[in-house]
Amino acid sequence: MSTATDQIKATIDANAVVLFMKGTKSMPQCGFSSRVAGVLNFMGVEYADVNVLADADIRQGIKDFSDWPTIPQLYVKGEFVGGCDIVTEMTLSGELDALFEAKGVTYDKAAAEKIRAANA
């Protein structure tokens, strides 16, 4: 029997980009999850979405796993990136682009620049 930690680790290992969120990428169920999913969707990033509302063990487990108290949580190539505020800040500063490039994750650079232009 696998634990929540095993499931979390397996999901992170199996996918280049994973978003642990409330709801799904097509139907987010909180504003913060919606914002991060929206950024990834707009930038054309392929990612796995894990709905923490569907499993209480995963919901608590991801907080313990990352030692981060809030959801959503973004992982890129096994590395914990952060939650909504950090992802938003990294998107606006260009750091998220740099991370995707360094990790070999495909994204739409023009879309990323549109986000920055709209928030300048």
Q: Are 4 and 57 in contact (CB under 8 A)?
A: yes
Provide the domain limits for residue 88: 4-118
| CATH number of 24's domain | 3.40.30.10
Number of domains in the chain: 1
Residue 87 is predicted with a pLDDT of: 98
Q: Give pLDDT tens digits for 5-51.
A: 999 999 999 999 999 999 999 999 999 999 999 999 999 999 999 99
Per-residue pLDDT reduced to its tens digit, 43-73? 999 999 999 999 999 999 999 999 999 999 9
Residue with tokens 């923490």: 52
84 is in an annotated binding site: no
Instruction: Name the band, by pLDDT with cuts 50, 70 and 90, for residue 1.
Output: low
Q: What is the pTM of this model?
A: 0.96
